[in-house]
Amino acid sequence: MSKFGEPIQYIQSERIEFPDFDFTYDGMVDPESEREDKTTASLRYRFFEARKDGHSLILKVVHGQLPPPNQDFEFLGKKYRLYTFSGPDGKRLQERHLIIEELS
């Protein structure tokens, strides 16, 4: 079982078990990859899903020219923060790692 506040590697479709829910990285979409004009920065979307007892929440993390912001979310009455670029201490996370922090 994974712990809140610790860096965890994520792999597409592989379930990460937290005390309050299961968390899955569902993949990335690059809607601008087919553009002919490649001179401007494109945005990519990474999708994550929290699940428990038939409840589900999809989180969309936007990646682009700037690092993705931390994402606060609420699931089953509790609040959390998802870090996908840098952790709570501001240090850069390793590639394909995330931290989920329990807020309440």
* Domain coverage including residue 81: 8-31+42-102
Burial 46-59 (b: 16+ CB within 10 A, else e): bebebeeeeeebeb
pLDDT at res. 65 = 80
Residue 60 lies in a domain: yes
pLDDT higher than threshold 90 for residue 66: no
Residue 52 lies in a domain: yes
**pTM across the whole model:** 0.88
pLDDT at res. 32 = 66
Residue 82 β-bridge partners: 71, 100
Residue 63 lies in a domain: yes
Distance CA 51, CA 75 (A): 9
Residue 37 lies in a domain: no
Residue 2 lies in a domain: no
pLDDT in tens, 3-38: 999 999 999 999 999 999 999 999 998 776 666 665
Residues 24/13, Cβ–Cβ less than 8 Å: yes
- Tokens, residue 95: 């590639």
Residue 1 lies in a domain: no
Residue 36 lies in a domain: no
Count of domains observed in the chain: 1
Residue 3 lies in a domain: no
